[in-house]
A and B are shown apart, each in its own frame.
Chain A
Amino acid sequence: MKRLLSSITDGKGFDILLVAFPLGYLFLMSGLPLLYNVLMSFQEVDMFSRGSFWRPFVGLKNYRDLFAMPETLPILYNTGIFVVASIAGQFLLGFGLALFFWTNFPGATWLRGLFLVSWVMPGLVVGAIWNWILSGDFGVLNFLLRETGIIDGNIFWRSDPDFSLWAVIIANIWLGMAFNMILLSVGLSAIPKDLYEAAELDGANAFQRFWTITLPMMRSTIGAIISLGLIFTLQQFDLFAAITSGGPNNSSNVTQYWAWDLSFRQYDFAKGATISVIMIIFVMFASVVYVRSTRHEVRG
């Protein structure tokens, strides 16, 4: 007993104690729900059986039903578009800005940090602002596009099935662009400056320097940022709730909103759990890529 006590105040026991509580908590609050989710996707969950743990097993029925639903494939397709377009927009604009601020004029660091304000704002507020900007008749974006002659008539961003998904994508690009830029700036500042000086002496022009030095040196950063982008895009829920609610007619619905909608609007918890399982496998895959691309730093 005394040995145990002194180990806790003065030895390995102290470390183990410090780690055991948080990891136990995480297991209880994240690990168990994860397993429970998988279990529920094989069960029949309705209003009556929701309260008990012993629900009838239905095997793969939930999965079969899910893929038999007419909206499943369009929603998966929307998710793909949402992820690819958001990441492409965030990454390219973020990279452009990072390269611009990399020239390091006075005030660059402060102004660059200011961009991150989009990232600390509550998602619901960002959604509300863009909902108003993208409004059909009185939205300021339509006004600006009309004035510059890009469009002739108003685009009904939120209610036109051809544009509703893009309304959320625009807001999401605005939201995530700054985060991409900051992380890319960190990667850029880690490239040794003398590489560029040497290349310049050898007569490489700016484009060649970017193509043969910047991009190869940034490879692991870019890998990490794109997989982080995938993770964050698949977490995006607030913007859907605030701008389109997945409508009209599921044209802007994506899996992470649909899973919630099935569980909490239609009370079909089994189907909600089933989609969750499928999507979580995707996200886990992305995070393995992320961990792999930052592995050398984790190991030191």
Chain B
Amino acid sequence: MPWISALVLLPLLGALSMLAVPAGPGGAVQARIHAILAAGGTLVLMAIVVGMFDRDVAGLQFIDHVDWAQEAGLSWDVGVDGISLWLLALTAVMFALAIMAACWRLPERPRAFLAMLLLAEAGLMGLFAAGDLVLFYVFWEAMLIPFYFLIGMWGGEGRARATTRFVIYTMVGSLLMLVSIVATAFVAQDITGNLTFSIRELSGVAFTDTQSTWIFAGFALAFAIKLPLWPFHGWLPDAYRLAPILVTGLLAAVMSKAGVYGFLRIGLPVFPEGADRFAIPIGILAVIGIAYGSLLAWRAPTMRLLVAYSSLAHLGFIILGIVAFDVQATQGAVLQMVNHGIVVAAAFAIVAVINRTAPDDRIDGIGGLADGAPRLAGVFLIVSMASLAIPGSNSFAGEFLILTGVFRQHAWLAVLACAGIVYAAVYMLRLYQSAMNGPRRGGMASKAELRVRDLAVLLPLIAAMLFIALWPKAIVGATTASIERAVAPAQVAADRPEDQIRATVEADPPPEALPLPGDPVPETTTTTPAEPTP
């Protein structure tokens, strides 16, 4: 059974099936059934994959490989390893919850809305499963289309401008990535004699330092904009503010992981030398992002902006964990991707609930809701604490692993990042206290009290938080082999001590790719212009 292909194609099928649904009230019911079957089916498949996953295998598992155009090196190539496993699971869970919530209260044009959600799911699933650069790129771009429509058609006031900016800005980044992908394949062909886009095969190719650096830079810019890494986050506030809040939740919970995933899947294993050169600059940007996002969240006028900027800060921690080239930090980063997805989704769900009684979203417009909404107060408290990573929460487990690892490599970066933890307490308490505590400042608590449909979204998320807080090993343990392998090349490039490198780096370049005797050996240094090296 081609499990992973099914994971990608089932939501796509669901989206296409919406075309067969008639318009009108009867169609809404049908559309719901289609959407729930597709998203629920994906979730079930995902659960089976998690169950069958072999934790001791470092490489991709469940590979589905179909050659497309062999001469051009194109193929359908998907699979899963310890890193993508949890991102696929996160995507499946989040979209299942989102589609459930959407079905509970359908917006206008329900068929299109649900179809777009399913397309977005298919895009993200494909992105996290792709084992091939071209496929990765196709999904990277494809995912933008449903999000473009979701924001553009169902978003708030001023959305046209925001979507244009979001799409064009991200596409500028992706164009550079396309150039980098093409360059990677051609340069690798020069070295090995094979034209391939397979990430597995490219991982062993010995690019020169300069090649590695430039190609990595092209990828990095695309990832940085998508992430977003400070200061490339220009699109984020408007997109998060104007998207329908369900979509905002998905952007923050799932799509924001695409950039980080790119670094970990492509950046580090394929271009270790380039990654090594950019590691410290990216780390510094991440730390600036942590402080910057936290300060802006502290002063943000609206709830959505506050959560949006807090998300910027949290992603700073995650990317910092990746560029430390430390197994522990990277494991923390993967754990934190899952945690951040869960927590930020819950945070936006709560903002959505409060917006029922405070439609203008302003923080200073509400207050004292705890009095009439005790359930909301309790759930919101748990989510706030998870968001500010109180010791004992799931986020703390992630941040602790990240920072322990970062500290081992670059103590100063970890110490600077710690300042962000204080700010997190300040801004999250500001949000929680001004909404829930103090004297009543407008807003009807009874309207904001959690109803069954809110609890249906929030309780699974909280259960996941508690589970991870109690036993993060469930997540972390499955990532060990894959992360050790993914990080090892960068660790070698960065001259890390032997005892930190836990996986043997594959023959470099792989023996079968070595040029035969008599083949012209490509001159690697002479034709390269003398670029300045950072």
Do A and B originate from a single complex?
no
Residues of B within 8 A of A (CB): none
Residues of A within 8 A of B (CB): none
